[in-house]
Amino acid sequence: MDETEALGAFAALSQETRLRILRLLVTSGPDGLAAGAVAEAMGVSSSNLSFHLAQLERAGLVTSRRESRSILYSAAYPVLADLIRFLMRDCCQGHPEVCVPALEAAPACCPPEKDVPHV
């Protein structure tokens, strides 16, 4: 992920509705959710939701696919991982005190049975 992509991702995440949409989609799994379901969960109009989903998609944070009449949106997990990496790589550069505490919080998210390299 380069600076331009990171800027786009941060801009996408800097709006309350969009941050909440992304969190919903991440926890909804790779199959995704129909735009209508997301709109209902967020309590916003379909046109407003469409606007925000388009921003998230332009930032690469979500992907969409049509399934019959619905359009299903899902979180782009690899791009999220890229963004975390960007923060660690480009912002921690030579400053482990930034990302060590972040990593210490990771086990809650990443189950230890996965064979992750010793950091």
* Total Cβ atoms within 10 A of residue 36: 13
Q: Which does 27 bind (CB under 5 to 8 A by kind): DNA, a copy of itself, none?
A: a copy of itself
The verdict on 68 binding DNA (CB under 7 A) reads: yes
Among residues 24 and 34, whose Cβ is nearest to DNA?
34
Among residues 14 and 47, whose Cβ is nearest to a copy of itself?
14
Q: Which residues sit at the interface with DNA, rule CB under 7 A?
A: 11, 14-15, 17-18, 34-37, 39, 44-55, 64, 66, 68-71
